[in-house]
Chains A and B, each alone.
Chain A
Amino acid sequence: MTEPSKTVQMALRVNRESVEATVPVRRNLVDFLRDDLGLTGSHVGCEHGVCGACTVVVDGAIMRGCLMLAVQADGCEIETIEGADQSGRLAALQAAFHRRNALQCGFCTPAMLLTAAALLEQNSKPSRDEIRDYLSGNFCRCTGYQEIVDAVAEVAGADT
């Protein structure tokens, strides 16, 4: 039980930039992104895959950064909230969340945005129930969820 007995070299792309890193094999992805790369927009809420605050995009699919080891991302394309924000692909959701106050403390918000964007990619016209269902892996303690659902529904409606 010594720290860390084994490290692995890996190469990946994070937010469209190439990264080469040597990481302890036990380090999970979200800790690597936060502590090694300084991408602190991904948050750690439970470290056991329930709260969803650590959600990041791995090769186009949303993943829990606490349930994936950093070394598993070797060769992958990762996008965090920082990259998604910079790309502008969340702009409509961000604006709707802002206008409707669909966030309070903001700790769940980056993951909520990435999850909502993933839903809208799969289903451009989700019903309110479908939105609520899809977001049910993301814990928000501050809002009553309603404004989040409204914001996502508004963006879905605006796409037509």
Chain B
Amino acid sequence: MNFQAPIGSSLPRDRAKRLLAGRGQYVDDIQLPRMLHLAFVRSPYPHARVKSIETIDAVAMPGVARVVKGADLVGVVSSWRGTHNLFPGLKAPEQHVLAGDTARWQGEAVAAVAARSRAEAEDAAEQIVVDWEELPFVGDAEVALENGATFVHDSLGSNQAFAAEVKQGNTELAFQDAHLVIERRFRFNRHTGVSLESRGLIADYDPSADRLTVYQSHQTPHQQQDLYARLLDIPEQNVRVICPDVGGAFGLKHHLYPDELAACAISKLLERPVKYIADRFESFLSDIHCRDHTVTARMAFTQEGDIVGMQVDDLFHAGAYSQYPRSSIAEGNQIIRLCGIPYRHEHYRAAVRMAYLNKSLLGHIRSVGHPIACAVTEQLVDLGAKQLSLDPVAMRRRAYLRDEDFPTTSPGGIALEHLSFHGCLDRALERIDVDAFRREQAQLREQGIYRGIGFATFVDLTSIGPEYYGEGGQHISAQETCLLRLEASGGIRCYTGATDQGQGIDSGIQQVVAGVIGVPVQDVKVNSGDSELCPVGGGSWGSRGAALAGEAALRAGQELRRNILNIAGVLLQKVPELLDIRDGAVVDATSGAKQLALAEVAQIGHFRPYMVPDNTPSDLTVTGRYASRDRMFLPANGLHVAILDVDTDTGLIVFQRYLVVHDCGRLLNPLLVEEQIRGGVVQGIGGALYEEFIYDDDGYLCNGTLADYLVPMAAEMPDIEVEHLETPTATSELGAKGAGEAGTTGAMGAVLNAVNDALTPFDVTLSEVPLTPPRILRALGKI
């Protein structure tokens, strides 16, 4: 079809106007009558037995409605296990909303206070006396898997949660015969999403209707509706989850958290609305974290610079439990499937092991596993090039999958449609003169300035298909439905199952609907984030909105357009094929002459339907549905290039330039995609340079505030150039692929390679992130 404006136009967002006026409504802005506030008592120890919980003083405190222990919620809420049926070997222990006799991470909640205000709830929580018995703890994945290690869960009889291997060809033989083998051990330290708005919800249970309404800062209202219905034993049609404005999410808000489910259970128990908003310290202690992987990887090369094969061993952990409902294996599973993916190679073996240990849970944060696979691969390519005295750009051009190689299936088992590795590199080289850079680099080195360039080629597995969670046994929708309703005035209401946390998918869908039907963009109002009003969908995660909800919107738009033209055809006594809709009016397709306003068509459809014959499709409320078939993922690709200076006296890094060339298929709105990518790059730079949870020898988190957990701020961040290639997917009519994680995916690898390139004269290689000043200075032997 002909994709007309506003599809592809850089338009600002409707929602942004409210937010700019301070008129946003985030969950903590909502107050309900009789509402109580929750505060939790959390374990101060990484591993401890709860011998007793004394609540008598707390109960007597002003404003306190109820003090709740785990036993109080038996029969109110069920437990769960974070399993995944595609990975039957995954051992997942039972988890409860409040820890019973054992706390397994610092921050695990054991009791809650519901009071008239948060301050009163916190005052009372301080009066609860828990008799703790500290237990030996496991704080490291390697230690967890040693013989004789303390068990995190005695019931599992092991700390190994999962192990798997992916294989193609024969790496042992190939590596024996290779001209060169490079091996590195990488450390990717632990960080998290740090949404500026912390997690939070209001649970409002009405016993007279057995109805639960939850206002929640969350990415996936329908997933939560299903979970609350099942775990709280409430008929699903009586559960409604509303996600109002959400202040950033980045994956950390698409899980079930025990404290949030506890709030729902306590609302059910007390039959009153209950609000829980995590404070910043609670967020750092209890939000899902990510990374914390140790990867040992080897890459084998021919003398000419072809890649023969790759071997990868990834060791990571889930924290104390497997997250629910998605399980915790995806980060490791993505790594073993994605290493080496941009390159031609025959022989591949990648293994992953996942442990349990006494830390808070690890799970899915923006760009699950991808930055690690990208950084590992791209550093090995750079090191190979160096050893072979080849230019790293020429090496990539030689070793990339070529245009004629597609479609193909990667050695890690990922089906790849046409990807534009060479196109992205060509575009990057149009923007950056690498030869000139090398001359400048050499001159600067003579002045004691160490400048480096780093390339990172990536593949992003966007828009997961229904086979992944459908087969996995999770009730997580990978299909999307869009509902459109033509109002009598000619305006269009749109309801989508995708959700908007600021990325702008509401606008993308609005543009698709407007473009497909032929109406001005302001005539379409998109509604999202309500599990009762919106059609069942997956929400927003994994770079899925444009490709999946966008395609559903396209289909719905096509049907509404057809029906409008059917009605107009009857009224005008013309065949619908001779009519078109342009700028909100039915026009003669040939001359463009206006025939009818949309309102005139709508009023016939709504109020005088007898004017249209029964057998003429003329519904003005329509749905379009899209579910991909026979593909697990929709891969997109791109290239990051970082240019930066390393101060070898301070270990500080200053960016000089940052370029992303990205291909997410058809662009719905370049303005929004570009700022998504920039935000993703900055988040990736956070992980590459600053963000790291630090634990002491006793297993305590040392940096649980924003003052000592460092995040990227404006002063340190570069301007980021973004270039687009458009290789639409042939698997949908719209042709869009995901874009939300692309910025994060490549940043770590590009920065790592740039820093190592800058430090070439010192003959050091850093393979641990974040690249903090102490790590750089230690590598240089300066401290």
Contact = CB atoms under 8 A, between A and B. Distances in A.
B714 A145 contact: yes
Interface residues of A, number: 61
A40 B19 contact: no
Nearest to B11: A101
Contacts of B16: 97-98, 101, 103, 106
A63 interface: no
Given A43-B26, A51-B706, A103-B20, A3 B248 contact: no
Nearest to B717: A145
A46 B194 CA distance: 10
Contact of A3 (B119, B245, B676, B707): B119
Interface stretch (B128-136, B406-414, B497-505): B497-505
B706 A105 contact: no
Contacts of A50: 705-707
Contact of A108 (B23, B120, B196): B196
Nearest to B29: A40
Contact of B678 (A1, A26, A43, A143): A143
A85 to B, nearest CB: 5
Given A50-B705, A135-B714, A136-B714, A41 B675 contact: no
B682 A105 contact: no
Nearest to A2: B62
Given A81-B21, A104-B503, A109-B20, A144 B197 contact: no
Contact of A106 (B19, B126, B706): B19
A104 B675 contact: yes
A53 to B, nearest CB: 6
Contacts of A101: 12-13, 16, 504, 671-672, 675
A27 B533 CA distance: 38
Contacts of A29: none
A100 B25 CA distance: 22
B713 interface: yes
A89 interface: no
A121 interface: no
Among A82, A108, A140, chain B packs the most CB atoms within 10 A around the CB of A140
A116 B95 CA distance: 46
B502 A142 contact: yes
Interface string A121-147: 000000011011101111111111111
Interface string B241-261: 000011111100000000000
B71 to A, nearest CB: 26
Q: Dominant SS at the A interface?
A: loop
Nearest to A128: B719
A65 interface: no
A6 interface: no
Given A44-B28, A46-B280, A109-B19, A141 B679 contact: yes
B678 A144 contact: yes
Given A47-B279, A98-B17, A141 B195 contact: yes
B683 interface: yes
A98 B119 contact: no
Contact of A48 (B61, B127, B705): B705
Interface in B654-713: 671-672, 675-683, 705-707, 711, 713
B675 A143 contact: yes
Contact of B120 (A3, A34, A46): A3
Interface string B706-750: 110001011111011000000000000000000000010000000
A149 B714 contact: yes
A32 interface: no
A107 B715 contact: no
Interface in A44-90: 44-48, 50-51, 53, 80-82, 85
Given A97-B16, A132-B714, A136-B713, A141 B250 contact: yes
A133 B715 contact: yes
B680 to A, nearest CB: 8
A128 B28 CA distance: 34
A103 B19 contact: yes
Interface string B171-206: 000000000000000000000011111100000000
A149 B501 CA distance: 22
Contact of B23 (A4, A41, A129): A41
A141 B280 CA distance: 15
Contacts of A45: 196-198, 280, 706
Given A41-B22, A48-B706, A94-B21, A146 B196 contact: no
A148 interface: yes
Given A135-B714, A144-B678, A106 B245 contact: yes
B778 to A, nearest CB: 27
Interface of B: 12-13, 15-26, 28-29, 31, 61-63, 117, 119-120, 123, 126-127, 193-198, 245-250, 279-280, 501-504, 671-672, 675-683, 705-707, 711, 713-717, 719-720, 743
Interface of A: 1-4, 24, 26-27, 34-35, 40-48, 50-51, 53, 80-82, 85, 94, 97-110, 113, 128-129, 131-133, 135-149
The list of the 10 closest CB pairs from A to B, nearest first, reads A41-B22, A144-B678, A106-B19, A104-B502, A107-B247, A105-B502, A81-B22, A40-B29, A50-B706, A136-B715
